[in-house]
Amino acid sequence: MPLSNSHASLDYLKRERQQGWKWQKPGRWNAAMPLDRSGDREQRRVRELTALHAVAAAMNQAMGEEDALAQVLTSVLDVLGLDAGRIFLLDPDSRRLSLVAAKGNPALLDPSETSLTPGYCLCGIALQRGELLQAADVGSDPRIIGSGCRNHPRHACAAVPLLAKERMLGVLHVASLQQGGFSDSEVALLGSIGAQVGMGVENMRLREEARRAEALGVLLQEMHHRIKNNLQTVADLLSLEAANSTSPEAQKSLRDSISRIKSIAAVHQLLSLEQLRLTDITELARQVCGILQQHLARPEQALEMSVAGPAIFLPSKQATAVALVINEMVANAIEHAFPNAPGRVSIDLTEQDGRILLVIQDNGRGLPSDFDLDRSEGLGLRIARTLVEKDLAGTLRLDHPAGGGARASIEFYQ
């Protein structure tokens, strides 16, 4: 029976009452009265389906959590013919049950009882044990200690845990003036309703979390877009300064700063295009190479660059460090490896079990024979080594590959 037919189910149930169902009072089955057993079974099944469909419809159609639970409570009391009910939700911080919905006979409801502690009265015990409990006679049951619950002692009540994936979310409390408590079939039905309400609450909360995450993602995208624009503005100002400078040393220093700023901007550019909070460093390496080829390569320099590897996603802090390391190592190759000849720089990235290996290799004239990374005074190498060791908690090695040139191997973990 589809959810959209829940109202039709209620109408069918009411017609069945008029056509011969034996009810002690509107909405409550009197199990003591004789019935045809096959008819009894069919009618009970209709009743169960009607209750569950009504609960599902209320959870799916309501806009907010409290509104949904108020509709659920109305449907449960109407279909089961109960006299009063309340729904409490568990506050994860205070670990108290807070009242979110109440309906029915005022004599069975205590308006001052807006919160309960685990273990207090029947609802608190049901929460603590994680099981459905009932009291056939409130006036004689020692578990019932709430003063409001004893205002009208001649009634029965039940406390139904609201569970989602074995996690306690709250309690449904229902009461009836009919003597004798709840039948086994009613207890089973209440248990099913509790599970369905619990799952409905969990789904509503997950949808709300997803909505907030989507809003946060849009906000982060806009933030990264603005940061990228601001960095671009700084780089443009430095470009003007470099163009107006007559000092070759100052121009070189400004060009180096521009490439570093634009490498950082490339991280924010990628983050502004994705709702993920992660950056694909393989794509980032391609963008950094493009920036360097545009700003540092000499017009007469025939320079070939390639980037190979799978998409590897890292948080923005690690991605920024990787972008700067690539910037420094490739900039060094452009400046020192190819003084008078065409050159090639290749970048290879691999990832296995969280271990990332970044290899930057050129076919230039190679490292000096007495090169020692620990004694190197080059600013670019010092920056790269600091970023690898401090920000990436990794290692940097420089060596001479068999085919000539120089190779930098950076290893770190996600």
Whether the pLDDT of residue 385 is over 80: the answer is: yes
- Convert the pLDDT of each residue in 297-313 to its tens digit: 776 677 888 999 999 99
What is the DSSP code (8-state) at residue 96?
Answer: -
- pLDDT at residue 24 in the model: 34
Give helix then strand counts, H and E, for the chain. 9, 15
Beta strands in 51-166 (DSSP E): 84-90, 97-104, 115-116, 133-135, 156-164
Question: Any residues with CB less than 8 A from the CB of 270 and at least 6 apart, and which?
Answer: 279, 280, 283, 284, 287, 319
Give the bridge partners for 171, in sequence order: 88, 161
Bigger pLDDT: 8 vs 339: 339
Whether the pLDDT of residue 325 is over 80: the answer is: yes
Whether the pLDDT of residue 160 is over 80: the answer is: yes
Mean of pLDDT values over 199-213: 79
Whether the pLDDT of residue 411 is over 90: the answer is: yes
Question: Any residues with CB less than 8 A from the CB of 373 and at least 6 apart, and which?
Answer: 381, 385, 396, 397, 398
Whether the pLDDT of residue 378 is over 70: the answer is: yes
Mean of pLDDT values over 109-122: 84
CA distances in angstroms from 403 to 54, 341, 371, listed in the order given: 75, 16, 18
Three-state secondary structure call for residue 368 = coil
Bigger pLDDT: 49 vs 262: 262
- For residues 80 and 51, the answer to whether their CB atoms sit within 8 Å is yes
Give the chain's domains with CATH numbers.
Answer: 3-208 (3.30.450.40), 209-413 (3.30.565.10)
Bigger pLDDT: 375 vs 287: 287
Closest to 355 in 3D by CA, of 317, 276, 410, 401: 410
pTM of the model: 0.49
- pLDDT at residue 200 in the model: 82
User: In which residue are the tokens 């190779």 written?
Assistant: 407
- pLDDT at residue 347 in the model: 93
Give the bridge partners for 345, in sequence order: 305, 362
- Confidence grade of residue 359 (pLDDT, cut at 50, 70, 90): very high
Bigger pLDDT: 14 vs 393: 393
Whether the pLDDT of residue 240 is over 50: the answer is: yes
Give the bridge partners for 172, in sequence order: 87, 160
CA distances in angstroms from 20 to 14, 16, 26, 33, 34, listed in the order given: 11, 7, 13, 12, 12
What is the DSSP code (8-state) at residue 337?
Answer: I
CA–CA distance, 287 with 267 (Å, rounded to integer)? 9
Give the other-Cβ count within 10 Å of 116's Cβ: 22
Bigger pLDDT: 145 vs 256: 145
Whether the pLDDT of residue 351 is over 90: the answer is: yes
- pLDDT at residue 320 in the model: 85
Residue 277 identity (one-letter amino acid): R
- Confidence grade of residue 6 (pLDDT, cut at 50, 70, 90): very low
